[in-house]
């Protein structure tokens, strides 16, 4: 693979920041966009912009076609059995809230258990807390071990028939841990528990096959996989989607409406009230084409090499504590703590050398408490990053040590 040529597909990366070549190490927050995605957005607005599903004119037909083709592409991208199992959302957060407010409200009762893990992003935690408050259900979590993996024995104790839903992150955005999603779904299924996998950090980084994973719901955000912001996917198994009531009411989700009552379309349209993010959906389809053009296995391998090289090189910095698995099996991000600098000071220092990183709790406050750190600094990678950029990061960490001590 010619990764240097692939990198040149991303115009934003070719710039100076604070007088240095930009080193973008914040892809776990949002990825950069290749030219083909940017062009798909401007082509749509320049040539095809029109509302979908509602008109018989040429532009609307083009927009509707592109929109529904994108649904098929998204289904293929994650291995769904049918495009009708693909609901377009604003992103991972909205997908989880949709499940909580529809399936959750319909199925959870006083005393039922919602099981999550100790490494969830707030968006896979707060919606379940709200649901628990509304229904009287109880929220429990699987503890995280010192090495950043889940406590396997605790899973056996906690994953009981009292649990109605097990929602867990596929790749942790704060530790880089890759959870064994297939095995966890099988264990949940064995006791009749519905599963939701938060794929915000895994989609676009590795091949995803929801049928092979055996999950009931899977959520992702387009902006973390080369697509635009404000668009994501909720996958739901049709047998579940069919039983779920709508969440948002409005246009496009109804069959008929009177003042007294309404009847609703089948999934996925039942869950897509109002004018959708048409440009976002078209941009997401372009991102899927782009990623599949490179090959998800190739991306996964390259991500993996970058993360391994980063852990190895960053370990050379005295006073560094790297969170998460120290082994090679980790996602393409490294979160760390330096005993000589607060994450915010370090991120500012790195910024003055052209490096973009994130410092803070990364929306995982309970996990920060678990590891007794106020926050961490996170360097996160994608296939457009290079080993030279990691060398540059390590140089800057050494420079920070000299500066802060």
**Which residues are near ligand PMP by CB under 6 A?**
91-93, 121, 123-124, 169, 173, 198, 200-201, 221, 363
Query: What is the closest distance, in whole angstroms, from the C-beta atom of residue 244 to ligand PMP in the complex?
Result: 20
123 preceded by cis ω (within 30°)?
no
Nearer to ligand PMP (CB atom), residue 116 or residue 169 = 169
Nearer to ligand PMP (CB atom), residue 119 or residue 394 = 119
Nearer to ligand PMP (CB atom), residue 31 or residue 300 = 31
Query: What is the closest distance, in whole angstroms, from the C-beta atom of residue 368 to ligand PMP in the complex?
Result: 14
Q: Which of 172, 74, 191, 75 is nearest to 117 (CA)?
A: 172
Cα gap 273→141, rounded to integer Å:
33
CB-CB contact of 49 with 35 (8 Å)? no
- Percent helix, strand and coil across the chain, each to the nearest 5: 45, 20, 40
Torsion angle defined by CA atoms of residues 382, 385, 389 and 390, in that order, rounded to the nearest 10 degrees:
40
Q: How far is CA 219 from CA 159, 223, 329, in A?
A: 21, 13, 22
Nearer to ligand PMP (CB atom), residue 91 or residue 246 = 91
Query: What is the closest distance, in whole angstroms, from the C-beta atom of residue 106 to ligand PMP in the complex?
Result: 23
Query: What is the closest distance, in whole angstroms, from the C-beta atom of residue 259 to ligand PMP in the complex?
Result: 36
The single residue listed with the structure tokens 């389809």 is 285
Nearer to ligand PMP (CB atom), residue 64 or residue 195 = 195
User: Tokens in use for 34?
Assistant: 């290749």
Query: What is the closest distance, in whole angstroms, from the C-beta atom of residue 337 to ligand PMP in the complex?
Result: 19
Query: What is the closest distance, in whole angstroms, from the C-beta atom of residue 201 to ligand PMP in the complex?
Result: 5
Cα gap 384→4, rounded to integer Å:
8
Cα gap 247→94, rounded to integer Å:
11
Query: What is the closest distance, in whole angstroms, from the C-beta atom of residue 258 to ligand PMP in the complex?
Result: 36
Cα gap 288→276, rounded to integer Å:
19
Cα gap 234→252, rounded to integer Å:
18
Half-sphere exposure at residue 343, Cβ-oriented, CA atoms within 13 angstroms: 20
User: Tokens in use for 61?
Assistant: 């037909």
Cα gap 318→383, rounded to integer Å:
28
Nearer to ligand PMP (CB atom), residue 173 or residue 195 = 173
Nearer to ligand PMP (CB atom), residue 201 or residue 300 = 201
User: Tokens in use for 273?
Assistant: 């009230």
Query: What is the closest distance, in whole angstroms, from the C-beta atom of residue 315 to ligand PMP in the complex?
Result: 24
Active site residues: 363
Nearer to ligand PMP (CB atom), residue 203 or residue 396 = 203
Annotate 203-261 with three-state secondary structure.
ECCECCCHHHHCCCEEEEEHHHCCCCCCCEEEEECHHHHCCCCCCCCCCCCEEEECCCC
DSSP 253-287: SEEEE-SS-EEEPPTTGGG--SS--HHHHHHHHHH
């Amino acid at each position: 693979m010619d990764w240097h040529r692939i990198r040149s597909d991303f115009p934003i990366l070719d710039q100076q920041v604070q007088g240095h070549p930009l080193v973008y190490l914040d892809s776990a927050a949002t990825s950069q966009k290749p030219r083909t995605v940017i062009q798909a957005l401007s082509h749509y607005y320049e040539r095809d912009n029109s509302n979908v599903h509602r008109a018989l004119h040429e532009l609307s037909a083009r927009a509707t076609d592109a929109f529904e083709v994108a649904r098929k592409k998204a289904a293929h991208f994650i291995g769904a059995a049918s495009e009708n199992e693909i609901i377009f959302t604003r992103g991972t957060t909205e997908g989880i809230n949709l499940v909580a407010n529809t399936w959750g409200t319909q199925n959870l009762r006083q005393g039922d258990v919602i099981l999550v893990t100790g490494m969830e992003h707030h968006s896979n935690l707060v919606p379940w807390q709200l649901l628990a408050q509304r229904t009287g259900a109880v929220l429990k979590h699987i503890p995280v071990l010192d090495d950043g993996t889940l406590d396997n024995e605790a899973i056996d104790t906690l994953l009981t028939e009292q649990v109605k839903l097990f929602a867990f992150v596929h790749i942790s955005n704060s530790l880089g841990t890759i959870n064994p999603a297939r095995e966890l779904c099988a264990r949940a299924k064995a006791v009749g528990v519905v599963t939701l996998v938060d794929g915000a950090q895994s989609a676009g980084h590795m091949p995803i096959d929801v049928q092979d994973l055996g999950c009931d719901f899977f959520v992702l955000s387009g902006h973390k996989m080369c697509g635009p912001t404000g668009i994501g996917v909720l996958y739901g198994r049709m047998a579940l989607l069919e039983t779920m009531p709508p969440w948002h009411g409005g246009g496009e989700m109804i069959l008929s409406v009177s003042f007294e009552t309404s009847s609703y379309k089948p999934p996925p349209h039942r869950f897509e009230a109002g004018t959708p993010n048409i440009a976002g959906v078209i941009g997401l389809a372009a991102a899927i084409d782009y990623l599949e053009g490179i090959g998800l296995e190739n991306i996964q391998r390259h991500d993996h090499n970058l993360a391994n090289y980063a852990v190895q090189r960053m370990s050379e910095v005295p006073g560094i504590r790297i969170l998460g698995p120290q082994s090679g099996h980790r996602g393409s991000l490294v979160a760390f703590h330096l005993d000589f600098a607060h994450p915010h000071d370090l991120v500012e220092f790195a910024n003055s050398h052209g490096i973009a990183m994130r410092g803070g709790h990364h929306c995982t406050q309970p996990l920060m408490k678990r590891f007794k750190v106020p926050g961490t600094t996170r360097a996160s990678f994608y296939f457009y990053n290079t080993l030279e950029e990691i060398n540059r990061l390590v140089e800057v960490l050494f420079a920070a040590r000299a500066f802060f001590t």
